[in-house]
């Protein structure tokens, strides 16, 4: 029999993830502070909860998909939060991208209430959330992961247990550094080609099958050429992830000079009013410097 799932956080990522669970036949109880996505999920067959505590009281597995560490702490540890309502043995899966130390802190509090927790952040942005093909990076006990692996694989094409609690978010930080640097490199290259008078769409087709080819290149160049910076993953959220990456790196004594540079590029775009653009919009920083626009 399929477990009853509670889902808290129906944003750009959470809403399609929750819809995929419904499509797979899971019984779903949902909560978000905004009424619009809740109404959409109710129309698709979910039940509505009145609070995070209410979700927890009615669920065997609770999934949270929230913006950052403070929101996760508030939803799980705060008044009318998950820990106030969850029964012993309930599994909490935090799929938010947060600081690894906060994952460990929340897990320790959950354990005091006899709850089991995984941190399971995702990569792939809104398109893969809609498709159910996210990459899911999981930290926590192997026996807990095995109990919910089937649920995770409804939302992702892969779900990999990478280590103890907090390891999922450490892996996500590594992922976000690589993605940010890839987008920045792609942006530099396409602006250079355009300024040199070479058609960027031809450059893309010429290099995508070689060593410079990447998932980032295939995902972001076609959108940039169409001037489509509608967010699949907003710059402001990547800033949040890089801030967590830099803090974690500094705590561990790991220099991250390239990540620091891309962070400042994103901060410049935020000042320019582009914080809600897709992170592929990093290319606009280079375009402004070179006084050229990359188009199809």
Same domain, 75 and 128: yes
pLDDT of residue 48: 97
Is residue 50 located within the same domain as residue 189? no
Assess if residue 295 is contained within a domain. Answer: no
Nearest to 107 by CA among 84, 91, 87: 91
How far is it, in rounded angstroms, from Cα 20 to Cα 154? 7
End of a domain among 165, 188, 213? 165
Does the residue 200 lie in any domain? yes
- 19 part of a folded domain: yes
The CATH number assigned to the domain holding 193 equals 1.10.1040.10
Q: Is residue 69 part of a domain?
A: yes
The count of structural domains within the chain is: 2
Question: How do beta strands 61-64 and 122-123 pair?
Answer: unpaired
22 and 153 share one domain: yes
| pLDDT score recorded for residue 44 | 96
Residues lower than pLDDT 50 in the chain: none
pLDDT the model gives residue 285: 98
Q: Where are the alpha helices (DSSP H) in the chain?
A: 14-23, 35-43, 52-57, 69-77, 82-85, 100-112, 125-131, 142-155, 167-195, 200-207, 215-225, 235-252, 257-271, 283-290
Give the other-Cβ count within 10 Å of 133's Cβ.
Answer: 14
172 is catalytic: yes
Structure tokens at 240: 């949040």
Shared domain check, 12 and 153: yes
User: In what helix (H) or strand (E) does residue 158 lie, and over which residues does it extend?
Assistant: strand 156-163
- Tell whether 128 is covered by a domain: yes
Question: Do residues 82 and 145 both lie within one domain?
Answer: yes
Strand pairing class (47-48; 61-64): unpaired
- Is residue 263 domain-resident? yes
Q: CB–CB of 175/137 below 8 Å?
A: yes
What pLDDT was estimated at residue 295?
A: 96
- Residue 138 sits in a domain whose CATH number is 3.40.50.720
> Which residue among 165, 183, 206 closes a domain?
165
Q: Virtual CA dihedral for 121, 127, 131, 132, nearest 10 degrees?
A: 0
| 236 CB burial (10 A radius; 0-12, 13-18, 19+) | middle
Domain boundary among 136, 165, 194: 165
Task: Provide the 3-class DSSP secondary structure of residue 171.
Answer: helix
174, 160: one domain: no
Q: Are strands 156-163 and 134-139 parallel, antiparallel or unpaired?
A: parallel
Predicted local confidence at residue 289, as pLDDT: 98
- Residues 38 and 146 occupy one common structural domain: yes
Do 99 and 188 fall within a single domain? no
Same domain, yes or no: 143 and 56: yes
Q: Are the beta carbons of 118 and 140 closer than 8 angstroms?
A: yes
pTM higher than 0.85, yes or no? yes
Give the other-Cβ count within 10 Å of 264's Cβ: 11
Query: Two tokens at 138?
Result: 């999981």
Residue 60 tokens, joined: 């065997």
In tens, the pLDDT along 196-247 reads 999 999 999 999 999 999 999 999 999 999 999 998 889 999 999 999 999 9
Number of neighbouring beta carbons within 10 Å of residue 153 = 15
Same domain, yes or no: 209 and 72:
no
> Is the residue at 268 inside a domain?
yes
Please report the pLDDT score of residue 232 as a whole number: 83
Q: Which residues contact 268 (CB under 8 A, 6 or more apart)?
A: 285
Among 76, 160, 66, 67, smallest CA distance to 111 is for 76
DSSP string, 86-147: PPTTPEEEE-S---HHHHHHHHHHHHHTT-EEEE--EESHHHHHHHT-EEEEEES-HHHHHH
Q: Give the structural domain span for 33.
A: 5-165
Please indicate, yes or no, whether residues 13 and 159 belong to a single structural domain of this protein: yes
> Integer distance in angstroms from the first to the last C-alpha of the chain?
51
Task: For residues 225 and 240, state if they share a domain.
Answer: yes
Q: Within a domain: residue 226?
A: yes
What pLDDT is attached to residue 220? 97
Catalytic member of 15, 172, 220, 240: 172
């Amino acid at each position: 029999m399929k477990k009853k799932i509670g889902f808290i956080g129906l944003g750009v990522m959470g809403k399609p993830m929750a819809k995929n669970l419904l499509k797979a036949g899971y019984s779903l109880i949902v909560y978000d502070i905004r009424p619009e996505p809740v109404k959409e999920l109710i129309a698709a067959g979910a039940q509505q909860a009145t609070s995070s505590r209410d979700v927890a009281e009615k669920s065997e597995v609770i999934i949270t998909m929230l913006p950052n560490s403070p929101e996760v702490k508030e939803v799980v540890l705060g008044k009318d939060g998950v820990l106030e309502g969850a029964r012993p043995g309930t599994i909490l899966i935090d799929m938010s991208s947060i600081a690894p130390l906060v994952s460990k802190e929340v897990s320790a509090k959950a354990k005091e209430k006899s709850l089991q927790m995984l941190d399971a952040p995702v990569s792939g942005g809104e398109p893969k959330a809609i498709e159910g093909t996210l990459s899911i990076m999981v930290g926590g006990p192997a026996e807990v992961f095995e109990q919910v692996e089937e649920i995770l694989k409804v939302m992702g094409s892969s779900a990999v247990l990478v280590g103890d609690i907090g390891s999922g978010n450490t892996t996500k930080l590594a992922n976000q550094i690589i993605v940010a640097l890839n987008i920045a490199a792609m942006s530099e290259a396409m602006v250079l080609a355009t300024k040199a008078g070479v058609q960027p769409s031809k450059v893309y087709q010429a290099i995508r099958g070689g060593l410079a080819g990447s998932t980032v290149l295939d995902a972001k160049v076609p959108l940039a050429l169409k001037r489509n910076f509608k967010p699949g993953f907003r710059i402001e959220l990547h800033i949040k992830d890089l801030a967590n990456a830099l803090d974690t790196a500094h705590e561990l004594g790991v220099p991250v000079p390239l990540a620091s540079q891309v962070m400042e590029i994103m901060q410049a775009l935020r000042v320019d009013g582009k914080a809600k653009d897709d992170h592929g919009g990093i290319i606009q920083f280079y375009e402004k410097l070179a006084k050229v626009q990359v188009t199809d």
